[in-house]
Amino acid sequence: NAGVTQTPKFRILKIGQSMTLQCTQDMNHNYMYWYRQDPGMGLKLIYYSVGAGITDKGEVPNGYNVSRSTTEDFPLRLELAAPSQTSVYFCASSYRVGSLGNEQFFGPGTRLTVL
């Protein structure tokens, strides 16, 4: 199993550009999540999905969109990049909800810089 994979690893965008961060998992997990990690801060949830076709907003969704057409893929879309979106983005997945103590598996991250 590859686990959770993310592409690209690094990206530099100009203000106003758009891009899609890709996330794929091969563990047949229903739950998938997108987090951003800012320096000296913990991770903040952007969007999450409880299954194909179902997505919902997390704590910091503004400026982002997601879709979940398959169990495996959960892409994150930035439409009009802004410097405030400079961050490291992590995708994660889990089999069941965390309240049951189930582990979230994280991808290696995408480091995005918006200039």
Interface residues toward another protein, by CB under 8 A: 4, 31, 33, 40-45, 48, 50, 56, 58-59, 90, 92, 94, 96-104, 106-109
Distance CA 2, CA 39 (A): 27
DSSP string, 44-70: EEEEEEEETTEEEE-S--TTEEE--SS
Nearer to another protein, 6 or 85 (CB): 6
Q: C-beta of 81: minimal distance to another protein in Å?
A: 22
Nearer to another protein, 67 or 104 (CB): 104
Q: C-beta of 100: minimal distance to another protein in Å?
A: 7
Phi, psi for residue 30 in degrees, rounded to 5? -75, -35
Q: C-beta of 85: minimal distance to another protein in Å?
A: 19
Nearer to another protein, 13 or 35 (CB): 35
Number of H helices, E strands in the chain: 0, 11
Q: Which residue has the tokens 């309240």?
A: 99
